[in-house]
A and B are shown apart, each in its own frame.
Chain A
Amino acid sequence: MRKKITRWMLWILVLCSLLLGVVLFSLCIGSVSISLERILGVIFEGKGTMEYSILFDIRAPRIILGFAVGGALSLAGVILQGMFRNPLVEPYTLGISGGAALGVCLNIILRFNHTLGIFSLPLFGFLGAILVIILVYSLSIRKGILKIQGLLLTGVMISFIASSLIMLIMAVSHTEDLHGIVFWIMGSLEEPNWFLIKLVVSVSILGLIISYLFCLSLNAFSLGEEEALHLGINIEKTKRLLFILASLLTGCSVAVAGIIGFVGLVVPHFVRMFVGGDHRILLISSFISGATFLILCDTLARIIISPLELPVGVITGILGGTLFVYALGKKQVVVLLGER
């Protein structure tokens, strides 16, 4: 037992130092590179210099948002994969991103953003996500029992419906609207509004704390629903709360940062390969790794064709996918859930 705790602590230490490293790398590098030693100097000199505003008005907000969104998406991925005992489930499978994107599209073509101001896009994204969550949830509940497989199928179908509607909207919209829609769907961590950043950070950290109340239930769930019941878990309550938790985490991230794919699918897998399937360590290490991964991807997206920027989703997909396939080939023993 002590050995296990030491191992867990070591993993957290390693992952935290990786996170710190990536954060520093991301602070330093960009179209204007600032050396590590310079950062301290800039902080002491205080406001007013150009370097200060690059660091704290441009790079730091992106890093913080990347931390929150990456963490939240990975956490939602771990929760959903554990709950569904299906390694292919990710936060976007349940149609949440589709709903959010549809909300944003409607907002753009109906020109609400001109009348409602800066909050209208995230607000509509969030409303779209919530609507889909309620829809999927109420369609999958039968006689007070949340049917897990039904939840998945309904979610996938709603995703398809939403993406078809988005295509319809795109087909009939003006060029400038189209640009806005495509830009949003590709996802970006550029967010000038500190309030929204703080909001996402609080939601994701709160989500991490709440998810810990369910870490043992998730462990029991890995044996199947009925087995979890045998172990004294109130499975209906747990399923509902976990579904709502994962949905809110995803909904908030998508509403602010757009659709950044792959983080919620790949990171939990990757982390599970290394730290094992125990959710007591898996939840926190996925959160940190997801944050690290997204900040790294965003930094690469900024610098690869600098001064232009790539959509961060492109990097998460290419980097995440390649790393994952490589790891699968290397490690013959694939630690996946849901093998029965």
Chain B
Amino acid sequence: MLEIKDLICGYDSKFLLQDINFKIEAGELVGIIGPNGSGKTTLLRAIRRVLKPKKGTILFEGKNIWQMGYKELAKRIAVVPQGVTAVAGMSVEEFVLLGRIPHFERCQFLETKKDLEIAKKGMILTDTIKFKDQLMQELSGGERQLVVIARALTQEPRLLLLDEPTSHLDITHQVGILDLIRRLNKELGLTVLMVLHDLNLASEYCQRLVLINKGRIYKIGTPEEILYYQIIEEIYKTVVVVEKNPISSKPYILVVSEEERRRY
């Protein structure tokens, strides 16, 4: 579905991402992990054609994304950005309906019945239909994130990109949102690529992980292959212990504080 070849990309003269090569098949749920400043968000921005690559190509379903139309791409790839924009005075339903913009015909100004139904479906899937008439600024961070996901679904994308969908949320909402993403992935066959900070959540929910360090891909593989204590300690420069989650038997990372390290 998505193929990135020899990508070099970055801001102005400083090149952040180098030699990025990887592929995502349709129906996968892939996580991007890596330390702060390693280029995770930059990679997402390159895939969504916000940043122009210096070299290399990004193919979506075999087509170079830079040769696709603006709307064409927006109908296929939806983004849930980091830090949700709250527009004062906009109701949840209006916000979700913005996701229909790429599907509007030329000179079409009003939503059709179909648009409204698709938006409703998106709100039902994310369980936000109950907030329908509330204003965006009245929602909590977790609720807002769900609404943004509903808007992304309303675009009817084939690939969903998420940039740290769980940051600043409590565990109820973290788990709620990731459960939802996995359900969308399983039930609707939506391909998902998301940046995650929390290694344990990444381990628990992603089929494959892309570990990025200093602008290069360090390793790609299943959580078991990536979340290995030597790799984590080398890249994050932190002493960790990797255990197995007794229920899901996925790797689980425990940090060790300075005090404890000294005692050893």
Is B25 located at the chain interface by the 8 A CB criterion?
no
With A226-B81, A278-B94, A339-B137 known to touch, is A233 a contact of B101 (CB < 8 Å)?
A: yes
Given contacts A1-B111, A226-B50, contact A232 B87 (CB under 8 A): no
Within 8 A of A (CB), among B56-99: 70-75, 78-79, 81, 85-90, 94, 98-99
Contact bitstring A220-258, B, C-beta under 8 A = 1, else 0: 101110110111111000000000000000000000000
Is B73 touching A215 in the complex (CB atoms < 8 A)? no
A337 at the interface (CB under 8 A from B): yes
Known A-B contacts A215-B109, A226-B81, A232-B74; A337 and B99 likewise in contact (beta carbons under 8 Å): no
Residues of A near B107 (CB, < 8 A) are 213
Known: A220-B98, A226-B50, A232-B75. A337 touches B70 (CB 8 A): no
Interface size class of A (residues with CB under 8 A): 20 to 34
| Interface status of A196 (Cβ within 8 A of chain B) | no
Measured CA separation A212–B75 after assembly (Å): 22
Q: Which of B45, B71, B110 contacts A5 (CB 8 A)?
A: B110
Residue of A216, A276, A334, A335 near B101 (CB, 8 A) is A216
Query: What are the residues of chain B within 8 A of A231 when measuring CB–CB?
Result: 74, 98-99, 101-102, 155
Q: Which of these, B71, B94, B111, contacts A232 with CB under 8 Å?
A: B71
Q: Does A219 contact B (CB under 8 A)?
A: yes
B201 interface hit (Cβ, 8 Å): no
Q: Are A219 and B89 in contact (CB under 8 A)?
A: no
Partner of A222, one of B45, B87, B113: B87
Identify the closest chain A residue to B135 (Cβ): A333
Is B116 an interface residue when CB atoms closer than 8 A count as contact? yes
Minimum CB distance partner of B80 in chain A: A230
The complex places the Cα of A232 from the Cα of B98 at a distance, in Å, of: 11
Q: Are A230's CB and B87's CB within 8 A?
A: no
| A42 sits at the interface (CB 8 A) | no
Cα distance A224–B49 when bound, in Å? 16
B90 and A216 form a contact (CB under 8 A): no
Question: What is the minimal beta-carbon distance from A182 to any residue of chain B, in angstroms?
Answer: 40
Starting from the known contacts A1-B113, A226-B50, A336-B88, 13 additional A-B residue pairs (CB-CB under 8 Å) come to: A215-B109, A220-B101, A223-B87, A230-B79, A231-B74, A231-B101, A232-B72, A232-B75, A276-B89, A334-B88, A337-B87, A339-B137, A340-B85
Interface size class of B (residues with CB under 8 A): 20 to 34
The chain A residue with its CB closest to the CB of B77 is: A230
- A277 contacts partner chain B, Cβ-Cβ < 8 Å: yes
Known: A222-B90, A227-B81, A227-B85. Is A212-B109 also a contact (CB below 8 A)? Answer: yes
Question: Least Cβ distance of A32 to chain B in Å?
Answer: 45
Assess whether B81 is in contact with A230, with CB atoms less than 8 Å apart.
Answer: yes
Is the CB–CB distance between B48 and A230 below 8 Å? yes
Q: List 11 A-B contacts (CB under 8 A).
A: A1-B116, A220-B101, A222-B90, A229-B70, A231-B98, A232-B70, A232-B71, A232-B101, A336-B88, A339-B86, A340-B86
Which residue of A213, A215, A277, A340 contacts B89 across the interface (Cβ within 8 Å)?
Answer: A277
Alpha-carbon distance between A226 and B41 when the two chains are bound, in angstroms: 13
For residue B164, give the distance in angstroms from its CB to the closest CB of chain A: 15
A10 to chain B, nearest CB (A): 16
Contact A335 B89 (CB under 8 A): yes
Q: How far is the CB of B192 from chain A (nearest CB, A)?
A: 16
Residue B15, interface by CB 8 Å: no
Q: Which residues of A have CB within 8 Å of B70?
A: 229, 232-234
Chain B residues with Cβ under 8 A from A340's Cβ? 85-86
A219 touching B88, Cβ below 8 Å: no
Chain A residues in 8 Å Cβ range of B78: 230
Distance A278 CA – B101 CA, assembled complex (angstroms)? 13
Chain A 290-340 residues near chain B, CB threshold 8 A: 333-337, 339-340
The verdict on B104 contacting chain A, using a C-beta distance below 8 Å, is yes
B60 → chain A closest CB, angstroms: 14
B85's nearest neighbour on chain A, judged by CB, is: A223
